[in-house]
Amino acid sequence: MNYITRLSAEHLADIRRLASRATSGPLLVGCYCETLTAVEYVSDLLSHGSGPCYMLYAPDHPDTRIGPNPMRPEHVAVTLVTGNGPTSEANADYYAEVTPQLVTKLIDEIERLRRI
């Protein structure tokens, strides 16, 4: 999805669809314990779920090596791990779309409507 232009009814419907599939809030921010490495901590957390683990990563980060399959990157700068539960893929899809550009467009649209 690309939200460069004004938010259309289709864009709003796409956002609504993504939001309806993701885990409802509130969500909490967690930080791994400093006595474990990040890999050990995440590995332990994921040992309680099942299925594939979804994450968001920064494709333009200098340390990222995507390789032939973007869904299975070789090395990445992970920005968010949504886990391996029943809504993990939907959560990853949703969070990937909630970009600063999208939020700015939503604010612009609200401000425009308030001027009417």
- pLDDT tens for each residue of 41-85: 777 777 777 777 777 777 777 877 778 887 777 777 777 888 777
pTM over 0.75: no
When pLDDT is averaged across residues 34-45 and rounded to a whole number, the result is 75
More confident residue, 24 or 56: 56
Amino acid 6 reads R
For residue 33, the model assigns a pLDDT of 63
> Is 32's pLDDT higher than 70?
no
Contact 90, 22 (CB under 8 A): yes
Q: Transcribe 21-47 into DSSP letters.
A: HSPPS--------TTS-HHHHHHHHHT
What does the domain layout of the chain look like in residue ranges?
31-114
For residue 25, the model assigns a pLDDT of 64
**Closest C-alpha among 49, 28, 48, 30 to residue 38:** 30
